[in-house]
Amino acid sequence: MTTLSIAASDGTRTAAQKIKPKDRDGVIQALRAGVVPRSGIQLVQVGRAGEVNQVVQDVKRIADGGSAVRFIIGDYGAGKTFFLNLARSIAMQSKLVVAHADLSPDRRLHASGGQARSLYAELMRNMATRTKQDGGALASVVERFIMEAQASAKASGRKIGDVIQERLLPIQELVSGYDFATVIECYWRAFEEGSESGKAAALRWLRAEYTLKTEAREALGVRSIIDDASVYDYLKVMSRFVTLAGYSGFLVMLDECVNLFKLVSAQSRNANYEQILRIVNDVLQGSAESLGVYFGGTPEFLMDSRRGLYSYEALRSRLAENSFARNGLVDLSGPVIRLQSLTPEDLYILLGKLRHVFAYGDQDRYLVPDEVFKAFMTHCNQKIGESYFRTPRNTIKAFLDLLAILEQNPQAQWQGLVNQAEIAPDAPSAGGDIIDDDKKDAPGAAGSSTTGSTQTSPDDDLADFRL
Protein backbone atom coordinates (compact mmCIF):
# COMPACT_ATOMS: atom_id res chain seq x y z
CA MET A 1 0.00 0.00 0.00
CA THR A 2 2.66 2.50 0.97
CA THR A 3 4.88 1.44 -1.91
CA LEU A 4 2.15 2.30 -4.40
CA SER A 5 1.36 5.69 -2.91
CA ILE A 6 5.04 6.65 -2.78
CA ALA A 7 5.65 5.55 -6.35
CA ALA A 8 2.56 7.40 -7.49
CA SER A 9 3.71 10.71 -6.10
CA ASP A 10 7.45 10.51 -6.67
CA GLY A 11 8.60 10.92 -10.22
CA THR A 12 12.23 10.04 -9.44
CA ARG A 13 11.23 6.68 -7.98
CA THR A 14 9.77 5.35 -11.24
CA ALA A 15 12.62 6.85 -13.27
CA ALA A 16 15.09 4.46 -11.62
CA GLN A 17 13.34 1.34 -12.92
CA LYS A 18 13.00 -0.13 -16.39
CA ILE A 19 9.45 -0.85 -17.53
CA LYS A 20 8.53 -4.19 -19.06
CA PRO A 21 7.24 -3.99 -22.65
CA LYS A 22 3.98 -5.66 -21.60
CA ASP A 23 3.36 -3.08 -18.87
CA ARG A 24 4.41 -0.20 -21.10
CA ASP A 25 2.22 -1.27 -24.02
CA GLY A 26 -0.80 -1.82 -21.77
CA VAL A 27 -0.56 1.70 -20.33
CA ILE A 28 0.20 3.48 -23.61
CA GLN A 29 -2.45 1.69 -25.68
CA ALA A 30 -5.15 2.30 -23.10
CA LEU A 31 -4.34 6.01 -22.67
CA ARG A 32 -4.17 6.59 -26.42
CA ALA A 33 -7.63 5.03 -26.71
CA GLY A 34 -8.94 7.32 -23.98
CA VAL A 35 -9.55 4.54 -21.44
CA VAL A 36 -7.94 3.71 -18.11
CA PRO A 37 -5.29 0.97 -18.10
CA ARG A 38 -6.09 -2.03 -15.93
CA SER A 39 -2.57 -2.17 -14.49
CA GLY A 40 0.42 0.12 -14.27
CA ILE A 41 -1.60 3.19 -13.32
CA GLN A 42 0.91 4.05 -10.60
CA LEU A 43 3.39 4.81 -13.39
CA VAL A 44 1.38 7.85 -14.47
CA GLN A 45 -0.33 8.93 -11.25
CA VAL A 46 0.33 12.56 -10.26
CA GLY A 47 -1.15 14.96 -7.74
CA ARG A 48 -4.27 14.38 -5.64
CA ALA A 49 -2.22 13.28 -2.65
CA GLY A 50 -5.05 14.27 -0.29
CA GLU A 51 -7.59 12.13 -2.12
CA VAL A 52 -5.22 9.15 -2.24
CA ASN A 53 -4.60 9.54 1.49
CA GLN A 54 -8.35 9.31 2.11
CA VAL A 55 -8.45 6.04 0.17
CA VAL A 56 -5.62 4.69 2.31
CA GLN A 57 -7.56 5.63 5.44
CA ASP A 58 -10.72 3.97 4.07
CA VAL A 59 -8.80 0.78 3.36
CA LYS A 60 -7.42 0.72 6.89
CA ARG A 61 -10.90 1.31 8.32
CA ILE A 62 -12.38 -1.55 6.28
CA ALA A 63 -9.52 -3.86 7.29
CA ASP A 64 -10.27 -3.04 10.95
CA GLY A 65 -13.86 -4.21 10.55
CA GLY A 66 -15.35 -0.83 9.74
CA SER A 67 -16.97 0.46 6.56
CA ALA A 68 -16.65 3.29 4.08
CA VAL A 69 -18.73 4.93 1.36
CA ARG A 70 -17.45 7.51 -1.11
CA PHE A 71 -18.88 9.41 -4.04
CA ILE A 72 -16.07 10.23 -6.46
CA ILE A 73 -17.35 13.23 -8.38
CA GLY A 74 -15.70 14.84 -11.39
CA ASP A 75 -16.41 16.13 -14.89
CA TYR A 76 -16.10 13.94 -17.97
CA GLY A 77 -12.42 13.23 -18.53
CA ALA A 78 -11.39 14.49 -15.08
CA GLY A 79 -10.06 11.09 -14.01
CA LYS A 80 -12.86 9.42 -12.03
CA THR A 81 -12.28 5.97 -13.49
CA PHE A 82 -8.52 6.41 -13.19
CA PHE A 83 -8.90 7.32 -9.51
CA LEU A 84 -11.19 4.34 -8.88
CA ASN A 85 -8.65 2.02 -10.48
CA LEU A 86 -5.92 3.53 -8.32
CA ALA A 87 -8.08 2.92 -5.23
CA ARG A 88 -8.64 -0.63 -6.48
CA SER A 89 -4.88 -1.24 -6.63
CA ILE A 90 -4.34 0.18 -3.15
CA ALA A 91 -7.10 -2.02 -1.75
CA MET A 92 -5.78 -5.22 -3.35
CA GLN A 93 -2.28 -4.56 -2.05
CA SER A 94 -3.85 -4.36 1.43
CA LYS A 95 -5.43 -7.83 1.06
CA LEU A 96 -8.93 -6.58 0.31
CA VAL A 97 -11.16 -8.33 -2.20
CA VAL A 98 -12.34 -5.83 -4.82
CA ALA A 99 -15.33 -6.06 -7.16
CA HIS A 100 -16.09 -3.39 -9.74
CA ALA A 101 -18.73 -2.80 -12.41
CA ASP A 102 -20.09 0.01 -14.57
CA LEU A 103 -23.73 0.91 -14.22
CA SER A 104 -25.64 0.82 -17.50
CA PRO A 105 -29.22 0.53 -18.76
CA ASP A 106 -28.92 -3.22 -18.11
CA ARG A 107 -27.14 -2.97 -14.76
CA ARG A 108 -28.67 -1.02 -11.89
CA LEU A 109 -28.93 -1.16 -8.11
CA HIS A 110 -32.69 -1.64 -8.17
CA ALA A 111 -34.93 -3.08 -10.85
CA SER A 112 -37.60 -5.71 -11.40
CA GLY A 113 -36.45 -7.08 -14.75
CA GLY A 114 -33.12 -8.61 -13.80
CA GLN A 115 -30.95 -5.48 -14.11
CA ALA A 116 -29.92 -5.51 -10.44
CA ARG A 117 -29.12 -9.22 -10.61
CA SER A 118 -27.09 -8.51 -13.74
CA LEU A 119 -25.11 -5.88 -11.81
CA TYR A 120 -24.37 -8.39 -9.05
CA ALA A 121 -23.29 -11.00 -11.61
CA GLU A 122 -20.92 -8.48 -13.21
CA LEU A 123 -19.43 -7.64 -9.81
CA MET A 124 -18.81 -11.32 -9.09
CA ARG A 125 -17.22 -11.87 -12.51
CA ASN A 126 -14.89 -8.92 -11.89
CA MET A 127 -13.99 -9.93 -8.32
CA ALA A 128 -10.24 -9.51 -7.91
CA THR A 129 -7.56 -10.15 -5.30
CA ARG A 130 -3.87 -9.41 -5.09
CA THR A 131 -3.06 -12.73 -6.79
CA LYS A 132 -5.86 -12.53 -9.38
CA GLN A 133 -5.94 -8.87 -10.33
CA ASP A 134 -7.70 -9.37 -13.65
CA GLY A 135 -10.92 -10.69 -12.10
CA GLY A 136 -12.45 -14.13 -11.84
CA ALA A 137 -11.32 -14.57 -8.23
CA LEU A 138 -14.61 -15.87 -6.81
CA ALA A 139 -13.62 -19.54 -7.01
CA SER A 140 -10.22 -18.89 -5.43
CA VAL A 141 -11.86 -16.98 -2.56
CA VAL A 142 -14.20 -19.91 -1.86
CA GLU A 143 -11.36 -22.42 -2.08
CA ARG A 144 -9.23 -20.33 0.25
CA PHE A 145 -12.05 -20.51 2.80
CA ILE A 146 -12.07 -24.29 2.44
CA MET A 147 -8.27 -24.50 2.76
CA GLU A 148 -8.36 -22.39 5.92
CA ALA A 149 -11.01 -24.72 7.35
CA GLN A 150 -8.97 -27.80 6.40
CA ALA A 151 -5.89 -26.39 8.13
CA SER A 152 -7.92 -25.59 11.26
CA ALA A 153 -9.50 -29.06 11.28
CA LYS A 154 -6.13 -30.75 10.92
CA ALA A 155 -4.62 -28.68 13.72
CA SER A 156 -7.52 -29.37 16.11
CA GLY A 157 -8.18 -33.00 15.11
CA ARG A 158 -11.82 -32.26 14.24
CA LYS A 159 -13.88 -33.15 11.20
CA ILE A 160 -13.62 -30.59 8.44
CA GLY A 161 -17.39 -30.58 7.95
CA ASP A 162 -17.88 -29.51 11.56
CA VAL A 163 -15.28 -26.77 11.21
CA ILE A 164 -16.89 -25.41 8.03
CA GLN A 165 -20.33 -25.36 9.60
CA GLU A 166 -18.97 -23.59 12.66
CA ARG A 167 -17.15 -20.99 10.55
CA LEU A 168 -20.30 -20.34 8.52
CA LEU A 169 -22.45 -19.58 11.57
CA PRO A 170 -21.80 -15.79 11.34
CA ILE A 171 -23.00 -15.94 7.72
CA GLN A 172 -26.26 -17.67 8.66
CA GLU A 173 -27.10 -14.87 11.09
CA LEU A 174 -27.27 -12.34 8.24
CA VAL A 175 -30.26 -11.66 6.01
CA SER A 176 -30.14 -14.16 3.11
CA GLY A 177 -27.13 -15.81 4.73
CA TYR A 178 -28.56 -19.30 5.33
CA ASP A 179 -28.80 -20.31 1.67
CA PHE A 180 -25.40 -18.70 0.99
CA ALA A 181 -23.84 -20.92 3.68
CA THR A 182 -25.61 -23.95 2.23
CA VAL A 183 -24.14 -23.27 -1.21
CA ILE A 184 -20.63 -22.94 0.27
CA GLU A 185 -21.10 -26.35 1.90
CA CYS A 186 -22.21 -27.74 -1.48
CA TYR A 187 -19.04 -26.37 -3.05
CA TRP A 188 -16.95 -28.01 -0.30
CA ARG A 189 -18.59 -31.41 -0.87
CA ALA A 190 -18.03 -31.12 -4.62
CA PHE A 191 -14.44 -30.03 -3.93
CA GLU A 192 -13.87 -33.12 -1.76
CA GLU A 193 -15.49 -35.44 -4.31
CA GLY A 194 -13.73 -33.88 -7.28
CA SER A 195 -17.06 -33.03 -8.89
CA GLU A 196 -16.53 -30.22 -11.38
CA SER A 197 -20.25 -30.07 -12.14
CA GLY A 198 -21.03 -29.62 -8.45
CA LYS A 199 -18.53 -26.80 -8.10
CA ALA A 200 -19.83 -25.17 -11.28
CA ALA A 201 -23.40 -25.29 -9.96
CA ALA A 202 -22.36 -23.64 -6.69
CA LEU A 203 -20.38 -20.93 -8.49
CA ARG A 204 -23.29 -20.35 -10.82
CA TRP A 205 -25.51 -19.67 -7.80
CA LEU A 206 -22.90 -17.41 -6.18
CA ARG A 207 -22.63 -15.43 -9.44
CA ALA A 208 -26.43 -14.95 -9.52
CA GLU A 209 -26.77 -16.86 -12.78
CA TYR A 210 -29.82 -18.89 -11.72
CA THR A 211 -33.08 -17.29 -12.81
CA LEU A 212 -35.44 -19.99 -11.51
CA LYS A 213 -35.69 -21.13 -7.89
CA THR A 214 -36.74 -24.62 -8.95
CA GLU A 215 -33.53 -25.02 -10.97
CA ALA A 216 -31.41 -23.94 -8.00
CA ARG A 217 -33.30 -26.28 -5.65
CA GLU A 218 -32.74 -29.25 -7.93
CA ALA A 219 -29.02 -28.53 -8.29
CA LEU A 220 -28.12 -27.39 -4.78
CA GLY A 221 -31.08 -27.95 -2.47
CA VAL A 222 -31.58 -24.25 -1.70
CA ARG A 223 -34.93 -22.51 -1.75
CA SER A 224 -33.86 -19.07 -2.96
CA ILE A 225 -31.67 -17.40 -5.54
CA ILE A 226 -29.92 -14.05 -5.74
CA ASP A 227 -32.50 -11.80 -7.38
CA ASP A 228 -33.12 -8.09 -7.89
CA ALA A 229 -34.55 -7.59 -4.41
CA SER A 230 -31.62 -9.13 -2.52
CA VAL A 231 -28.52 -7.76 -4.24
CA TYR A 232 -27.34 -5.47 -1.46
CA ASP A 233 -28.07 -8.09 1.21
CA TYR A 234 -25.79 -10.52 -0.59
CA LEU A 235 -23.07 -7.91 -0.98
CA LYS A 236 -23.05 -7.63 2.82
CA VAL A 237 -23.01 -11.42 3.10
CA MET A 238 -20.06 -11.56 0.70
CA SER A 239 -18.17 -8.95 2.73
CA ARG A 240 -18.52 -11.15 5.81
CA PHE A 241 -17.54 -14.27 3.88
CA VAL A 242 -14.30 -12.85 2.44
CA THR A 243 -13.13 -11.95 5.95
CA LEU A 244 -13.84 -15.53 7.05
CA ALA A 245 -11.69 -16.64 4.10
CA GLY A 246 -8.75 -14.66 5.47
CA TYR A 247 -9.01 -11.41 3.53
CA SER A 248 -9.12 -7.96 5.12
CA GLY A 249 -12.45 -6.83 3.67
CA PHE A 250 -14.56 -6.22 0.58
CA LEU A 251 -14.55 -3.10 -1.58
CA VAL A 252 -17.28 -2.57 -4.21
CA MET A 253 -16.77 0.03 -6.95
CA LEU A 254 -19.65 1.27 -9.10
CA ASP A 255 -18.68 3.58 -11.95
CA GLU A 256 -20.78 5.43 -14.54
CA CYS A 257 -23.48 6.26 -11.99
CA VAL A 258 -24.62 8.99 -14.36
CA ASN A 259 -26.76 6.25 -15.92
CA LEU A 260 -29.04 6.49 -12.89
CA PHE A 261 -29.36 10.21 -13.54
CA LYS A 262 -30.43 9.42 -17.11
CA LEU A 263 -33.37 7.24 -16.05
CA VAL A 264 -36.53 8.88 -17.36
CA SER A 265 -38.86 7.34 -14.80
CA ALA A 266 -38.83 9.17 -11.47
CA GLN A 267 -40.08 5.98 -9.82
CA SER A 268 -37.09 3.99 -11.10
CA ARG A 269 -34.61 6.72 -10.17
CA ASN A 270 -35.99 7.04 -6.65
CA ALA A 271 -35.92 3.27 -6.17
CA ASN A 272 -32.23 3.26 -7.07
CA TYR A 273 -31.57 6.27 -4.87
CA GLU A 274 -33.29 4.46 -2.00
CA GLN A 275 -30.77 1.65 -2.39
CA ILE A 276 -27.95 4.18 -2.31
CA LEU A 277 -29.52 5.74 0.80
CA ARG A 278 -29.63 2.31 2.42
CA ILE A 279 -25.92 1.83 1.73
CA VAL A 280 -25.07 5.29 3.07
CA ASN A 281 -27.13 4.73 6.22
CA ASP A 282 -25.56 1.33 6.89
CA VAL A 283 -22.06 2.73 6.53
CA LEU A 284 -22.60 5.91 8.52
CA GLN A 285 -24.40 4.04 11.29
CA GLY A 286 -21.82 1.25 11.45
CA SER A 287 -24.25 -1.51 10.42
CA ALA A 288 -21.99 -2.79 7.63
CA GLU A 289 -18.78 -4.62 8.55
CA SER A 290 -15.60 -4.81 6.46
CA LEU A 291 -17.45 -3.30 3.49
CA GLY A 292 -16.62 -0.31 1.33
CA VAL A 293 -18.66 1.09 -1.56
CA TYR A 294 -17.32 3.68 -4.00
CA PHE A 295 -19.58 5.44 -6.52
CA GLY A 296 -18.20 7.32 -9.50
CA GLY A 297 -20.32 10.03 -11.13
CA THR A 298 -20.51 13.49 -12.63
CA PRO A 299 -21.51 16.69 -10.81
CA GLU A 300 -24.96 16.44 -12.42
CA PHE A 301 -25.47 12.99 -10.94
CA LEU A 302 -24.83 14.44 -7.51
CA MET A 303 -26.17 17.98 -7.55
CA ASP A 304 -29.01 18.16 -10.06
CA SER A 305 -32.02 19.15 -7.95
CA ARG A 306 -34.51 17.49 -10.30
CA ARG A 307 -32.90 14.16 -11.26
CA GLY A 308 -29.65 13.85 -9.31
CA LEU A 309 -28.98 12.55 -5.83
CA TYR A 310 -29.86 15.98 -4.43
CA SER A 311 -33.41 15.49 -5.72
CA TYR A 312 -33.78 12.87 -2.97
CA GLU A 313 -33.95 14.93 0.19
CA ALA A 314 -32.61 12.24 2.53
CA LEU A 315 -29.49 11.86 0.36
CA ARG A 316 -29.12 15.61 -0.05
CA SER A 317 -28.88 16.09 3.71
CA ARG A 318 -26.38 13.26 4.14
CA LEU A 319 -24.17 14.21 1.21
CA ALA A 320 -24.20 17.97 1.72
CA GLU A 321 -20.69 19.35 1.59
CA ASN A 322 -18.97 21.27 4.36
CA SER A 323 -20.18 24.88 4.18
CA PHE A 324 -16.71 26.07 5.22
CA ALA A 325 -15.03 24.37 2.24
CA ARG A 326 -14.83 27.51 0.10
CA ASN A 327 -12.23 29.88 -1.29
CA GLY A 328 -9.67 27.17 -1.87
CA LEU A 329 -10.41 25.24 1.35
CA VAL A 330 -11.23 21.55 0.92
CA ASP A 331 -12.71 18.86 3.17
CA LEU A 332 -12.03 15.33 1.94
CA SER A 333 -13.28 13.53 5.05
CA GLY A 334 -16.95 13.51 4.04
CA PRO A 335 -18.67 10.97 1.77
CA VAL A 336 -18.21 13.19 -1.30
CA ILE A 337 -14.76 13.58 -2.85
CA ARG A 338 -14.65 16.12 -5.63
CA LEU A 339 -11.65 15.44 -7.79
CA GLN A 340 -9.62 18.63 -7.78
CA SER A 341 -8.26 19.88 -11.08
CA LEU A 342 -4.67 19.07 -11.84
CA THR A 343 -2.42 22.07 -11.48
CA PRO A 344 -0.16 23.08 -14.39
CA GLU A 345 2.73 21.76 -12.29
CA ASP A 346 0.96 18.38 -11.97
CA LEU A 347 0.41 18.24 -15.71
CA TYR A 348 4.06 19.09 -16.33
CA ILE A 349 5.07 16.11 -14.17
CA LEU A 350 2.47 13.93 -15.90
CA LEU A 351 3.89 14.69 -19.34
CA GLY A 352 7.31 13.71 -18.01
CA LYS A 353 5.94 10.41 -16.74
CA LEU A 354 4.25 9.73 -20.07
CA ARG A 355 7.54 10.32 -21.86
CA HIS A 356 9.25 8.00 -19.39
CA VAL A 357 6.73 5.18 -19.84
CA PHE A 358 6.78 5.60 -23.62
CA ALA A 359 10.57 5.09 -23.50
CA TYR A 360 10.27 1.85 -21.46
CA GLY A 361 11.76 3.63 -18.45
CA ASP A 362 15.06 4.24 -20.28
CA GLN A 363 16.24 7.86 -20.27
CA ASP A 364 18.46 7.18 -23.28
CA ARG A 365 15.34 6.48 -25.36
CA TYR A 366 13.55 9.76 -24.62
CA LEU A 367 12.16 11.16 -27.86
CA VAL A 368 11.80 14.77 -26.73
CA PRO A 369 13.61 17.07 -24.30
CA ASP A 370 12.06 18.78 -21.29
CA GLU A 371 11.42 21.92 -23.34
CA VAL A 372 8.56 20.20 -25.15
CA PHE A 373 6.42 20.11 -21.99
CA LYS A 374 6.13 23.86 -21.65
CA ALA A 375 5.60 24.33 -25.39
CA PHE A 376 2.89 21.66 -25.48
CA MET A 377 1.08 23.07 -22.44
CA THR A 378 1.17 26.56 -23.95
CA HIS A 379 -0.35 25.19 -27.15
CA CYS A 380 -3.07 23.37 -25.19
CA ASN A 381 -3.90 26.53 -23.27
CA GLN A 382 -4.27 28.48 -26.48
CA LYS A 383 -6.51 25.79 -27.97
CA ILE A 384 -8.92 24.92 -25.15
CA GLY A 385 -7.98 27.15 -22.23
CA GLU A 386 -7.90 25.72 -18.72
CA SER A 387 -9.74 22.55 -19.81
CA TYR A 388 -6.38 21.00 -20.71
CA PHE A 389 -5.59 20.35 -17.03
CA ARG A 390 -9.13 20.28 -15.66
CA THR A 391 -10.11 17.35 -17.89
CA PRO A 392 -6.74 16.06 -19.14
CA ARG A 393 -7.84 12.96 -21.06
CA ASN A 394 -7.63 14.52 -24.53
CA THR A 395 -4.39 16.30 -23.62
CA ILE A 396 -2.82 12.98 -22.69
CA LYS A 397 -4.02 11.36 -25.92
CA ALA A 398 -2.61 14.20 -28.01
CA PHE A 399 0.79 14.08 -26.31
CA LEU A 400 1.08 10.31 -26.78
CA ASP A 401 0.07 10.69 -30.42
CA LEU A 402 2.91 13.21 -30.78
CA LEU A 403 5.40 10.74 -29.29
CA ALA A 404 4.12 7.97 -31.58
CA ILE A 405 4.76 10.13 -34.65
CA LEU A 406 8.28 10.99 -33.48
CA GLU A 407 9.03 7.32 -32.79
CA GLN A 408 7.98 6.20 -36.27
CA ASN A 409 9.36 9.22 -38.11
CA PRO A 410 12.84 9.96 -36.73
CA GLN A 411 13.33 12.77 -39.23
CA ALA A 412 10.41 14.77 -37.81
CA GLN A 413 11.06 17.67 -35.43
CA TRP A 414 8.88 18.14 -32.36
CA GLN A 415 8.99 21.94 -32.70
CA GLY A 416 7.00 21.78 -35.92
CA LEU A 417 4.56 19.15 -34.69
CA VAL A 418 3.50 20.69 -31.38
CA ASN A 419 1.56 23.53 -33.00
CA GLN A 420 -0.24 21.04 -35.25
CA ALA A 421 -1.69 19.05 -32.38
CA GLU A 422 -5.48 19.00 -32.55
CA ILE A 423 -7.02 19.12 -29.07
CA ALA A 424 -10.70 19.52 -28.25
CA PRO A 425 -12.36 19.95 -24.86
CA ASP A 426 -13.53 16.65 -23.41
CA ALA A 427 -17.28 16.19 -23.75
CA PRO A 428 -19.71 13.57 -22.46
CA SER A 429 -20.23 10.56 -24.67
CA ALA A 430 -23.36 10.46 -26.73
CA GLY A 431 -26.29 8.83 -25.02
CA GLY A 432 -29.69 10.10 -24.10
CA ASP A 433 -32.17 9.27 -21.43
CA ILE A 434 -32.80 5.67 -20.44
CA ILE A 435 -36.31 4.31 -20.75
CA ASP A 436 -37.10 1.84 -18.01
CA ASP A 437 -38.06 -1.32 -19.92
CA ASP A 438 -39.60 -2.78 -16.78
CA LYS A 439 -42.20 -0.03 -16.60
CA LYS A 440 -43.03 0.86 -20.18
CA ASP A 441 -45.60 -1.92 -20.53
CA ALA A 442 -47.08 -1.40 -17.08
CA PRO A 443 -50.48 0.24 -16.66
CA GLY A 444 -50.12 4.00 -16.58
CA ALA A 445 -46.56 3.94 -17.94
CA ALA A 446 -45.44 6.19 -20.76
CA GLY A 447 -46.59 4.82 -24.07
CA SER A 448 -49.22 2.44 -22.67
CA SER A 449 -52.88 3.10 -23.23
CA THR A 450 -56.09 1.55 -22.01
CA THR A 451 -58.54 4.05 -23.49
CA GLY A 452 -56.95 4.77 -26.83
CA SER A 453 -55.07 7.85 -25.63
CA THR A 454 -51.37 7.92 -24.75
CA GLN A 455 -50.61 8.02 -21.04
CA THR A 456 -47.91 10.32 -19.75
CA SER A 457 -45.03 9.33 -17.52
CA PRO A 458 -45.24 10.33 -13.86
CA ASP A 459 -41.95 12.18 -14.50
CA ASP A 460 -43.16 14.08 -17.53
CA ASP A 461 -41.11 17.18 -16.71
CA LEU A 462 -39.09 19.09 -19.24
CA ALA A 463 -36.05 16.94 -19.93
CA ASP A 464 -34.10 19.22 -22.22
CA PHE A 465 -34.42 22.56 -23.98
CA ARG A 466 -32.21 24.10 -26.62
CA LEU A 467 -32.35 27.20 -28.79
Instruction: Please say which residue of 418, 445, 460 terminates a domain.
Output: 418
* Residue 139 belongs to a domain: no
107 shares its domain with 72: yes
Q: What is the pLDDT of residue 388?
A: 63
* Residue 265 belongs to a domain: yes
Q: What is the pLDDT of residue 344?
A: 84
* Residue 39 belongs to a domain: yes
Neighbours of 50 (CB within 10 A): 12
Q: What is the pTM of this model?
A: 0.83
* DSSP H helical ranges for 131-257: 138-156, 160-167, 169-172, 177-193, 196-206, 213-220, 231-244
Q: What is the pLDDT of residue 169?
A: 92
Instruction: Please say which residue of 288, 318, 338 terminates a domain.
Output: 338
Residue whose C-alpha is closest to residue 47's, from 434, 314, 341? 341
* Residue 181 belongs to a domain: no
Q: What is the pLDDT of residue 428?
A: 61
* Residue 202 belongs to a domain: no
273 shares its domain with 414: no
7 shares its domain with 108: yes
406 shares its domain with 303: no
Query: What domain range includes position 286?
Result: 2-115+246-338
pLDDT along the chain (467 residues), means of 10: 39 59 89 84 85 93 94 85 91 95 92 92 95 91 93 90 92 89 94 92 94 92 92 94 95 93 90 94 89 94 92 91 76 85 85 92 90 86 69 82 89 81 62 61 38 41 51
* Residue 387 belongs to a domain: yes
75 shares its domain with 34: yes
Q: Write the DSSP string, 226-293.
A: --GGGHHHHHHHHHHHHHHTT-SEEEEEEE-THHHHTBS-HHHHHHHHHHHHHHHHHHHTT-S-SEEE
Instruction: Please say which residue of 320, 338, 356 terminates a domain.
Output: 338
* Residue 382 belongs to a domain: yes
Q: How many domains does the chain have?
A: 2
* Residue 427 belongs to a domain: no
Question: CATH no. for residue 316?
Answer: 3.40.50
- Ramachandran quadrant class, 133 (left: phi over 0; alpha: psi -120 to 50; beta: rest): alpha
